[in-house]
């Protein structure tokens, strides 16, 4: 079989493995239907406990799941209008994180607030923005619109599964489709013939595969599969009939415990739509089965990485190019920010940090370290930090952006 642009396998040493997660991105954290009026939903994002609630105005808010009074989880309380009332002493916290006493009066304390997050609803999901926002408090771009998701000619599935693997491994899995052997016992809908090409289009990385795709009657026909990676969103288009959007969302601070969201849209002729809807539970079961197989092998990959296996052999040049594309974006962001702490970071200003603490955090994957070498910024693997840190006595760090930037 002609495999197109594949090359002899060689090691892939990627700095992305040390990046906890991308910054300046939207992440889905819950189904909109799950956050009903008067209900509090508890979740986690990058290690931070978050309480989601919908106020009487219908707006969804997200605050750190911790009352500023004594640290009790706000999710133990109740929704009162547009606020959460703590179950312990009755303090109330609004959507911006400001706290008032049980009597509704402002609390006379310098730290009477908890963290809050920018939220939005789109495509039946609640999204939280990770990153820096301007003074208006509104990100410069909206959550992704997965049009034409949920339009009348389509049959859609929304699936979320836990994945015990780093987000960069998940991206590899979504971009390299030559793992169809894994799904050989699943009635899958395509077979990859060759890698046709890949390129960067602005901020988006695009890959194209030649494949055989099953049509409405079950017959396989030649078609083109196009994959577009834009920030943290992977969009796979299988000809004209099927689109899959995938978003890895980090629950843990190291980006190695994820919730993987998939939005699947299948276009179908009107004459076949009713039959497909009747078969939807069976179709969903088979699709979830395939996704679970991916989750299982990704978790195995992560265990190997955690055990010290670093020489991943890769023969798909699109993976090398993808990692280079994302690394360049990460480094560009670091330089653009001027090695400074962005607004909204957990740490309010540059600090002199203990080098041992930086080493420990980096080794746990909680922060990534970017150092300048001959004026060029580069991501430093934790096992190299001992050689880098003695070169400077002070360095600025911010944890919300998940980088430790060496000045």
Residue 402 corresponds to which tokens in the numbers above?
């998940």
Residues 82 and 186 placed together within one structural domain of the fold: no
Residues 376 and 310 placed together within one structural domain of the fold: no
224 falls within a domain: yes
Task: Please identify, among 278, 294, 321, the residue that sits at the C-terminal boundary of a domain.
Answer: 321
- 318-347 pLDDT, tens digit per residue, is 999 999 999 999 888 777 765 544 444 444
327 falls within a domain: no
Residue 303 corresponds to which tokens in the numbers above?
């265990």
Average pLDDT of the chain? Answer: 84
8 A C-beta contact, residue 263 and residue 236:
no
Residue 166 pLDDT level (bands cut at 50, 70, 90): very high
Please state the domain count of the chain. 3
8 A C-beta contact, residue 29 and residue 118:
no
Residues 308 and 159 placed together within one structural domain of the fold: yes
pLDDT at residue 365 tops 60: yes
8 A C-beta contact, residue 154 and residue 146:
no
Residues 156 and 302 placed together within one structural domain of the fold: yes
In the block, tokens 């962005």 appear at 342
Helix or strand run (H / E) with residue 294: helix 280-306
| CA–CA separation, 91 and 311 (whole Å) | 53
253 falls within a domain: yes
**pLDDT of res. 185:** 86
Name the percent of the chain lying above pLDDT 70. 79
8 A C-beta contact, residue 153 and residue 249:
no
**pLDDT of res. 344:** 44
Residues 241 and 299 placed together within one structural domain of the fold: yes
Residue 250 corresponds to which tokens in the numbers above?
């980090």
36 falls within a domain: yes
CATH code (residue 212)? 3.90.380.10
**pLDDT of res. 286:** 85
Identify the CA nearest to 368 among candidates 379, 384, 383, 357. 379
In the block, tokens 């919730």 appear at 259
Q: Which residue has the higher pLDDT, 274 or 74?
A: 74
Order of strands across the sheet that contains 403-405: 376-380, 368-373, 403-405, 396-398
Residue 393 corresponds to which tokens in the numbers above?
């006595």
Residues 191 and 82 placed together within one structural domain of the fold: no
Residue 94 pLDDT level (bands cut at 50, 70, 90): very high
8 A C-beta contact, residue 30 and residue 113:
no
Residues 152 and 274 placed together within one structural domain of the fold: yes
Q: pTM score, two decimals? A: 0.88
| CA–CA separation, 187 and 283 (whole Å) | 10
Domain that holds residue 60: 25-130
269 falls within a domain: yes
* Lowest mean pLDDT segment, chosen from 122-136, 201-215, 247-261, 371-385: 371-385
**pLDDT of res. 282:** 77
Beta bridge partners of 267: 154
| CA–CA separation, 77 and 74 (whole Å) | 5
**pLDDT of res. 382:** 85
Residues 181 and 280 placed together within one structural domain of the fold: yes
Task: Please identify, among 321, 356, 373, the residue that sits at the C-terminal boundary of a domain.
Answer: 321
In the block, tokens 């020489």 appear at 311
Long-range CB contacts for residues 219-222, cutoff 8 Å, separation at least 24: 220/191, 222/193
| CA–CA separation, 112 and 99 (whole Å) | 6
Residues 216 and 290 placed together within one structural domain of the fold: yes
244 falls within a domain: yes
140 falls within a domain: no
| CA–CA separation, 309 and 299 (whole Å) | 14
Residues 252 and 298 placed together within one structural domain of the fold: yes
59 falls within a domain: yes
Q: Which residue has the higher pLDDT, 268 or 202?
A: 202
């Amino acid at each position: 079989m002609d495999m197109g642009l594949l090359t002899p396998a060689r090691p892939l040493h990627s700095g992305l493995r040390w990046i906890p997660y991308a910054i300046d991105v939207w992440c889905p954290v819950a189904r909109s239907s799950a956050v009903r009026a008067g209900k509090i939903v508890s979740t986690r994002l990058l290690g931070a406990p978050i309480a989601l609630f919908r106020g009487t105005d219908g707006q969804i808010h997200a605050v750190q799941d911790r009352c500023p009074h004594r640290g009790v989880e706000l999710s133990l309380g109740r929704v009162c209008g547009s606020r959460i009332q703590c179950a312990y002493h009755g303090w109330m916290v609004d959507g911006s994180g400001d706290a008032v006493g049980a009597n509704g009066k402002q609390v006379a304390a310098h730290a009477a607030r908890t963290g809050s997050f920018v939220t939005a609803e789109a495509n039946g999901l609640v999204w939280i923005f990770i990153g820096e926002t301007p003074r208006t408090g509104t990100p410069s771009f909206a959550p992704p619109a997965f049009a034409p998701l949920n339009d009348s000619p389509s049959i859609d599935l929304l699936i979320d599964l836990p994945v015990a693997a780093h987000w960069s491994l998940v991206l590899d899995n979504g971009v390299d489709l030559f793992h169809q052997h894994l799904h050989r016992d699943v009635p899958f809908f395509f077979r990859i013939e060759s890698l046709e090409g890949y390129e960067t289009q602005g901020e988006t990385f695009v890959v194209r595969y030649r494949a055989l795709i099953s049509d409405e009657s079950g017959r396989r026909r030649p078609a083109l599969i196009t994959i577009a990676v834009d920030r943290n969103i992977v969009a796979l288009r299988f000809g004209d009939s099927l689109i899959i959007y995938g978003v890895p969302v980090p629950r843990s601070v190291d980006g190695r415990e994820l919730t993987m969201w998939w939005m699947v849209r299948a276009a179908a002729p009107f004459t076949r739509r009713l039959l497909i809807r009747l078969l939807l539970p069976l179709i969903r079961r088979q699709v979830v089965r395939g996704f679970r197989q991916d989750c299982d092998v990704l978790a195995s990959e992560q265990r190997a990485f955690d055990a010290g296996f670093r020489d991943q052999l890769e023969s798909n040049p699109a993976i090398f190019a993808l990692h280079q594309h994302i690394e360049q974006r990460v480094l560009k962001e670091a330089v653009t920010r001027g090695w400074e702490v962005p607004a909204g970071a957990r740490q309010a200003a540059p600090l002199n940090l203990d080098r041992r603490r930086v080493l420990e955090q980096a080794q746990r994957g909680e922060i990534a370290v970017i150092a300048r070498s001959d004026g060029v910024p580069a991501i430093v693997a934790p096992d190299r930090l001992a050689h880098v840190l003695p070169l400077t006595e002070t360095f600025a760090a911010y944890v919300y952006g998940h980088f430790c930037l060496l000045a």
